[in-house]
Amino acid sequence: MSTSDPEALLPLSPAVFHILLALVGEERHGYGIMQETTLSSDGKVKLGPGTLYRSIRRLLVDGLIEESDARPVPELDDERRHYYRLTPFGLRVARAEAQRLSELVRIAQSRQLLPQPGVVSLEGGL
């Protein structure tokens, strides 16, 4: 992708956003991305291999992620694994998507679809 404007790639699919989130601050291989996504979503999001690797190919082409040659512990790692890391552009896109979603949450709160932070609703809870 030749654009340097993160907004041009929005909105991201949920699968792509979860992949980028899994790579913030840490390089991971495909299976590690799948595990992190399941863990961070409390099991609500489970990426299948087809979705994962199709998304990874697109993210590589668009310059949001790149392959890494680094290995955590080379002698304990399977050499067939491909590790991926977020590029600076990928981080900008992830931040832009997080901001976009944050704005949607704000709108939902203003329409009383979600509780306002720190406000107790009449239905109970926060």
Instruction: Tell me which amino acid residue 54 is.
Output: R
Say whether domain 10-110 belongs to CATH 1.10.10.10: yes
Helix axes 30-40, 14-23, angle to 10 degrees: 100
Instruction: Enumerate the domain spans of the chain.
Output: 10-110
Which mean pLDDT values do the consecutive 10-residue runs of the chain (126 residues) have?
A: 83 98 96 96 96 98 94 72 96 98 95 85 57
DSSP code per residue over the chain: -----GGGGPSPPHHHHHHHHHHTTS-EEHHHHHHHHHHHTTTS----HHHHHHHHHHHHHHTSEEEE---SSGGGS-TT--EEEE-HHHHHHHHHHHHHHHHHHHHHHHTTSSPPTT---TTS--
Burial class of 51 by CB neighbour count within 10 A (0 to 12, 13 to 18, 19+):
middle
Q: How confident is the model at residue 120, as a pLDDT?
A: 67
Q: How confident is the model at residue 122, as a pLDDT?
A: 62
